[in-house]
Structure 1
Amino acid sequence: MIEKNIFEEINKKKLKLDELRPLSKETVKSLRESILLEWTYNSNAIEGNTLTLLETKVVLEGITIGGKSLREHLEVVNHKEAILYLEDIIKNEEAFSEWQIKNIHHLVLKGINDKYAGNYRDQQVMISGAEHIPPAPFLLKEKMNEFIKWYNTEAQYLHPVERAAMVHIIFAGIHPFIDGNGRTSRLLLNLELMKNGYPPIVIKNSNRLEYYSALDKAHTIGDNFDFISLVIKETNDMLDRYISLCSNNI
């Protein structure tokens, strides 16, 4: 059980950021470009993409890096397109749905594995380095239906940051796709944060062991505290970054 006072610091910072809004166009552009790059680089690096932060920036600008695979280039371009899609979802105030999740995943795997892009897996999978074993393929539809139902009922009583963390935990546990579940789960986490007026967070590649350990703990023994705490820390750090930049531009 997560104590409500754990969110006090976040609530104060969120209130402060709201008071600084609307942010200037220049500030919004600067933050958006910086975070889009860091989010794309780190989310791909966690999954084994070898492009550096600088190389990722260059690929986002439309330039090809010699000696790197087509897949690694596509992972960068696709992730950016997925983020743009999240922004459209928020702008249009679309309800959370299975269709939406499949669209996000389709963008993540587009041109990489078109057979499975946006389609649930038809075989059992193992998560490398984790004790948790995802549900069998024939259970996926039921599990995803339960996920959406949970989101529309119980989840709405949670603090938005806790809800975002739980969206990631539950989706990653179901692991409905053959590939791209990690990237999709981090996109869903940030979609939930952004919907509620929070900045997107970056789960850093340098913290991937802590990240994976907390996630596996949630999946195997049902202890979500470490993972939610990690999301809280990253949210606090990103709010600090936003407030600092915005305060300096007043």
Structure 2
Amino acid sequence: MRTTGALTPEVLGKLRKYFKIKNIYNSNAIEGSTLDVGETRLVVEQGLTISGKPLKDQAEAKNLSAALDFLEELARNTETPITEADIRQLHYLVLTDINRENAGRYRSVPVEIGGSEFKPPNPEHIASEMNDFGQWLKSASSPGTLFMQDEAILAASAAHTWFVTVHPFIDGNGRVARLLMNLLFMRYGFPIAVITREDRSRYYDALELSQVSDLTGFVSLVSESIEESLEEYEAAASEQRDAQEWAKSIALKFGAKEKVTASNHYEVWKNAMELLKSLIRQTADLLDANANIGKIYFNDFGNLGFEKYLSLKNYGSAKKTWFFRIDFKIGARSARYLFFFGSPSHVMRALGVDVDVTLHVSREEPAGSFHYEFLDQITAPNVPNVVEIGYNPEREAFVVRGVDSRVREEKVDSLCRLFIQEVVEKDFGG
């Protein structure tokens, strides 16, 4: 296994959330779920109900989230082998509130797999087949000091293909198979492998070939998936290393006095931005609670760290500077506004506005694309007159740049109300 270096708990936590949503979305999409990634995140992380989407799809997302939490518990207890009881518990979590009668129970009827020539064993053979599989899984799930990538891929692939060959449950076999595959990867010290929705046809074709003992195609797909996950971990480690090295170089340039001054400015600025975010959230929540139609969703991405703040203040670059996003949905119409940090615009600089790091506003264009454009680059007339927000600590005032490039001071409460009001009027007033 290649090494990525020690990741901080914060980075690991973000990676865990990212892979969890990625896994839930793709695993359920393979089975036909209609939720997109953003909707999956809202259902799982915020417990929201998405209007217009099947309740079954939303229950499947919540169930798979609970199953993944249980999977992490199983992965941590490396001294304890995985048993048939653990498999049934995973299945129970996957199917509960959807098919309670069969959740966690082996099937009692023959089944056929749509589009496949393979016929799973009859129900009277399932107990013995699962006993054989369970005995192998006990051994395979306790790898000891074995952490080689090839062995991990083969063990994870075998767990998946063997399990779906038995097909022990009336429904949910695919989801449980992918959970077991990733449980083996985690036991071997690897991240999870996500079979994506785009690889659905290739995945099913490889499984069909695996039924006649040719695992080549399936192992190849799993190998590519784990490589992609490892690359994402390495990218996170590289970004962390870059940030740490940059912070060290900055620290060498700053004397004790400069460090204190920069840190104090950052804390004042950060508190101002947190206040702005809090008031916009409160305004959105108030409107959402009193609106007869439509919904407003608030997504918080956390504040900007000190190192990134310094980089943007000095007109450098920084990755992942999203602050928050507000999603408006009325009937079939929607609008998403993303607020993210950046260096002050040339307009702010040309006017001599004394701000360090500003908040830029963008909108999803077109709706549903998850592609965002700066508000001042959108030619449509329905653009709110708030495209960039800064904070002047000396004057204790928020500074707002509008679509007309004019800059004005604005009280934070009126700024929040103005933005929400203009979005509703301009995006949904017609």
In structure 2, which of residues 195, 202, 217 is the aligned counterpart of residue 210 of structure 1? 202
TM-score, with structure 1 as normaliser: 0.89
User: Which residue in 2 is equivalent to 1:39?
Assistant: 23
User: Which residue in 1 is equivalent to 2:229?
Assistant: 238
Instruction: Please tell me whether residue 192 in structure 1 is matched to residue 198 in structure 2.
Output: no
In structure 2, which of residues 40, 47, 70 is the aligned counterpart of residue 62 of structure 1? 47
**Structure 1, 89-98 or 164-173: larger mean CA deviation:** 89-98
User: Which residue in 1 is equivalent to 2:213?
Assistant: 222
After TM superposition, what 4+ stretches of structure 1 lie above 4 angstroms from structure 2?
152-158
TM-score, with structure 2 as normaliser: 0.53
Provide the aligned C-alpha RMSD in A.
1.5
Q: CA, structure 1 residues 27+153, in 2 after alignment: closer, same or farther (shift >3 Å)? A: closer
Displacement of 1:75 = 0.2
In our comparison, the structure showing a higher alpha carbon Rg is 2
Displacement of 1:237 = 1.2
Identity of aligned residues (%): 37
Deviations 1:106-127 (A, max 9, x none): 0000100001000000101111
**Structure 1, 147-156 or 84-93: larger mean CA deviation:** 147-156
Matched ranges for 1:16-165 at <5 A: 16-17=3-4, 20-21=5-6, 23-60=7-44, 61-93=46-78, 94-152=80-138, 159-165=151-157
In 2, distance between residues paired with 1:151 and 1:56?
Answer: 31
Instruction: Please tell me whether residue 247 in structure 1 is matched to residue 226 in structure 2.
Output: no
In 2, distance between residues paired with 1:194 and 1:126?
Answer: 31
Displacement of 1:151 = 3.1
In 2, distance between residues paired with 1:46 and 1:120?
Answer: 22
Q: Per chain length, whose mean CA-contact separation is higher, i.e. which structure has more relative contact order (CA < 8 Å, sep 6+)?
A: 1
User: Is the CA contact 2:43–2:62 (under 8 Å) kept in the aligned structure 1?
Assistant: yes
In 1, distance between residues paired with 2:40 and 2:228?
Answer: 23
Displacement of 1:70 = 1.9
Uncovered stretches (5+) of structure 1, i.e. residues with no partner: 1-13
Q: CA, structure 1 residues 151+91, in 2 after alignment: closer, same or farther (shift >3 Å)? A: closer
Count of paired positions: 233
SS at match of 1:190: helix
Instruction: Please tell me whether residue 169 in structure 1 is matched to residue 161 in structure 2.
Output: yes
Deviations 1:139-161 (A, max 9, x none): 00000011122334589698111
The amino acid of 1:135's aligned partner reads: P
The amino acid of 1:33's aligned partner reads: K
Q: CA, structure 1 residues 154+24, in 2 after alignment: closer, same or farther (shift >3 Å)? A: closer
Higher strand share: 2
User: Is the CA contact 2:111–2:120 (under 8 Å) kept in the aligned structure 1?
Assistant: yes
Displacement of 1:92 = 2.5
Uncovered stretches (5+) of structure 2, i.e. residues with no partner: 242-430
Deviations 1:52-84 (A, max 9, x none): 111111111211001222211110000000000
In 1, distance between residues paired with 2:139 and 2:39?
Answer: 43
The amino acid of 1:46's aligned partner reads: I
Displacement of 1:173 = 0.8
User: Is the CA contact 2:83–2:138 (under 8 Å) kept in the aligned structure 1?
Assistant: no
**Structure 1, 224-233 or 158-167: larger mean CA deviation:** 158-167
Displacement of 1:15 = 2.8
In 1, distance between residues paired with 2:234 and 2:139?
Answer: 32
SS at match of 1:206: helix
Q: CA, structure 1 residues 138+15, in 2 after alignment: closer, same or farther (shift >3 Å)? A: same
